[in-house]
Amino acid sequence: MLVASDLDRTLIYSAAALGLTVPDAEAPRLLCVEVYEGKPLSYVTEAAAGLLVELAERAVFVPTTTRTREQYHRVHLPGPVPRFAICANGGHLLVDGETDPVWRAAVGRRLAAECAPLDEVRAHLLHTADPAWLLKERVAEDLFAYLVVDRSLLPAGYVKELGEWAVERGWTVSLQGRKIYAVPRPLTKSAAMREIARRAEADEVFAAGDSLLDADLLTAADRAWRPSHGELADTGWSTPGLTVVPERGVAAGEQILRGFLTP
């Protein structure tokens, strides 16, 4: 069995995304799995930590993220270091922590042939973003771009209008927390997942995610899970074989892991 799971807001959670609704005295014990600039950043529950160790013993576990390789390597999940990982939304397939150069070259050829260049999309993002709500603009791995925004000041129609502009050029737009991602449509987690499943000779594939950029991954899996929060939950997105866990926040991550381990 191969398990390909998104990380942020699916398995791991920042303090702002924990979504704890119980009294403080009843809150679950948390384990920090990421430190950034000397400060704790991301967490799982202690119960989830034990489930991750068990999962690594029973399946090929593949962290599958839109994070850059540098951002991914900050995350230290319980259990053995996964042999495979997917970074940059499928742009980098890692084997024992290193980029597979053959895969990366194939991705580059596909992007050049099937969608508008990154420079064009980045220029449009900068042209349309208002300094009143734009906090940062970044390019990730020379593959895609994203904006960090003040959600309270972001115009209601901006993301929809940007998405309509992008789709005509072969790109996808996704709003996740404070970040607006613009990602080439051919750059998918599912393509990298299929390649790893082939190499691992997996008979069955499980997957989990919470955002629009995870939709192709969940659709491609034999069984899939998503939490009751996030971009997919907001739109009521579904696909055959999908389980929607009722929990939100860090409790959802724990429940998704239980789903992976349930026959």
- Write the pLDDT tens digit of every residue in 111-144: 999 999 999 999 999 999 999 999 999 999 999 9
| Cβ-proximal residues to 199 (8 Å cutoff; 6+ apart), any chain | 84
Domain 116-184's class? alpha beta
Q: Which two tokens stand for residue 210?
A: 């919470």
Instruction: Centre a 10 Å sphere on the Cβ of residue 151 and count the other Cβ atoms it contains.
Output: 11
Give the integer Cα–Cα distance in Å for 29 and 61.
24
Q: Give me the CATH code for the 2-108+187-261 domain, please.
A: 3.40.50.1000
> Which whole-number Å values give the CA distances from 165 to 118, 133, 160, 197, 261, in the listed order?
14, 20, 9, 34, 41
Amino acid at the residue 117: P
Q: So where are the chain's domains? A: 2-108+187-261, 116-184
| Average confidence (pLDDT) over 28-37 | 97
Q: What is the pTM of this model?
A: 0.93
- Write the pLDDT tens digit of every residue in 143-152: 999 999 999 9
